[in-house]
A and B are shown apart, each in its own frame.
Chain A
Amino acid sequence: DAKTTQPPSMDCAEGRAANLPCNHSTISGNEYVYWYRQIHSQGPQYIIHGLKNNETNEMASLIITEDRKSSTLILPHATLRDTAVYYCIVRALLDSNYQLIWGAGTKLIIKP
């Protein structure tokens, strides 16, 4: 199983880009990388996912290294509402079913 490693916490100034790193050095070729976030007292929220190519949507950008052993989630203009725990997750095929393997996450604090 691929596992992910993230820094436990990060700070970012409001209005600046927040760059959240994730290591997934044991990822295999067919495993996707997903990012979710969890705002306090809410259920997790899907942000973005990717396999090999960089991806961008209205929430964030995902940069995946060429060897796929790490990735970075970029929130281009962080706001106070982006304060949350961000989870980098690998989707793996286990016992014929796809599952999300959740790591410990990064607590991102956006400061005014």
Chain B
Amino acid sequence: SAVISQKPSRDICQRGTSLTIQCQVDSQVTMMFWYRQQPGQSLTLIATANQGSEATYESGFVIDKFPISRPNLTFSTLTVSNMSPEDSSIYLCSVSMRTGFGEQFFGPGTRLTVL
């Protein structure tokens, strides 16, 4: 298993600004993912964070809006850029120990409210 922390745990931001969310894992992991969970909804995968290279984005998500970094095997950041109220969601980081393995461990999430 892995222990995952996210910062900040929550934030209230103004329209048009950007917020960077950090994800820290207590051990080296193979895969890191970023999800969005809109109020009352299930999870939607935003992207897979790749160490040392550009993230792999899912359909409907683009790098300009959600830039992601992963400088090493234990840390990643997700930035929500030029925010609008529609970006109000919980953003979750998850990790997996193996390539292609579906057992993922999730962080506690970052609750973002955009005014």
Contact = CB atoms under 8 A, between A and B. Distances in A.
Interface of A: 32, 34, 42-46, 49, 87, 89, 91, 93, 95, 97-100, 102-105
11 contacts: A42-B108, A43-B92, A43-B107, A44-B43, A46-B105, A97-B48, A98-B99, A99-B45, A100-B102, A102-B44, A104-B42
Interface residues of B, number: 21
A49 B108 CA distance: 22
Given A46-B103, A93-B100, 14 more contacts: A42-B108, A42-B109, A43-B4, A43-B94, A43-B106, A43-B108, A44-B92, A45-B106, A87-B42, A89-B102, A97-B100, A99-B45, A100-B104, A104-B41
Contact of B102 (A42, A95, A98, A103): A98
A91 B102 contact: yes
A45 B106 CA distance: 7
A98 B108 contact: no
